[in-house]
Amino acid sequence: MASLLDVSAGHLDNLVGLTVPVTQFTGILVQSFTTSGSLSTETLASLNATGTGLPGPGTATGYTVSVVAVNDAQNTLTLGLGSGGTAVQSTDYAIGFGPNGVLLSLESSNTNAIDLGANIDLSDEFGVLSAAPIPQGTALSFSATGATSPPTPPALTILDTTTSQPVAATPQPYVGPVAGLTSEFITATSDSLNVAVTTPNWFIHTGSGNDAIAVSSGTNVLDGSTGSNFLTGGTGADTFFVDDRGATADIWSTVNNFHSGDSATIWGIAPSDFKLTWLDGQGATGYTGLTLGATGAGHPNATLTLVGFTSADLSNGRLSVSFGTTAATGGVPGSNYMSIKAA
């Protein structure tokens, strides 16, 4: 069910079944408004009002308000208004949307009925169906109903699974050396995170928790750092990092949707310093696959599972393995690495 704060004109259907106490249906005192269109069809462009604290039109103390049905073509909500299991129905027009909720008109989809005088008490003609009670005197603002699509979801969403709370984060421009990347999210938190992006071309690096990272499209680099991580690639060419350089704990990253054009880089690995083993069918139930184990004296273990692959793919052309060392830059020595590519 959609939130009252996440709907727009023509996209009200997910509100069906919503029931709120009468304190979340509020009459208003209009202070100013603007309209657009001809006199017979004019629609709301913007409206500023004050919540009166009174119950909304047609209701009384103790009522509940339920969204019984909607008509997206006409932008109407049919409300059930009542208490004690009995209710009357009222079909109202959704004529405005704002940070406090949806503005409803009992009379018409246009605004001809609004008197041009200031500070008009319209608590009997207009109501606000809100996500929470609106205290008396609260300033309200509503915008035009002309939107034809739901609000754009955020490009980056993060859930802290340690605290079970969402994390507010602003995408940052990517400033690293990988061509094609445009945005980045980097954190060193020890909490476990679920990170998802809906836009292409990201560099995502999480901390030492047990993290999940999912991308959608474009060119992306996913690095879950230490701990047990679940990395899901998108439709484009993605790179998955397992970084054993300076790691302070073991790493096990499971890579899902590893496909042609993707690659995995295990940093800090050289065949002369690490024992490398390949096992089939390892990993979490439902996401097992070919698993590389890299162990070296004085280094945490580095483990990588490629979901759906087997050791046969190392010789049949589906996977290729190579080793190398990056060039030294600015007096910093190069890094050993192992690369696995999907053909």
8-27: pLDDT as tens digits: 778 888 788 888 888 898 88
* Residue scoring higher pLDDT (29 or 104): 104
Q: pLDDT tens for residues 172-195? A: 999 999 999 999 999 999 999 999
Q: Are residues 168 and 289 in the same domain?
A: yes
Assess whether pLDDT exceeds 80 at residue 118: no
* Residues 117 and 164 reside in one and the same domain: no
Number of domains in the chain: 2
pLDDT at 286 over 90: yes
Question: Rounded to an integer, what distance in angstroms lies between the CA atom of residue 18 and that of residue 4?
Answer: 9
Last residue of a domain, one of 113, 143, 173: 143
pLDDT recorded at residue 37: 65
Same domain, 169 and 309: yes
Residues 137 and 207 placed together within one structural domain of the fold: no
Distance CA 343, CA 328 (A): 29
- Indicate if 329 and 192 belong to the same structural domain: yes
Is residue 243 pLDDT above 80, yes or no?
A: yes
In a domain, 149, yes or no: no
What range does the domain containing 265 cover? Answer: 156-342
Residues 6+ apart with CB under 8 A from 44: 33, 34, 35, 95, 96, 103, 111, 142, 144, 145
Question: Is position 4 within any domain?
Answer: no
DSSP label at 31? E
107 and 191 together in one domain:
no
* DSSP per residue, 160-218: ETTTTEE-----EE--SS-TT--EEEE---SS-EEEEESSS-EEEE--SS--EEE--SS
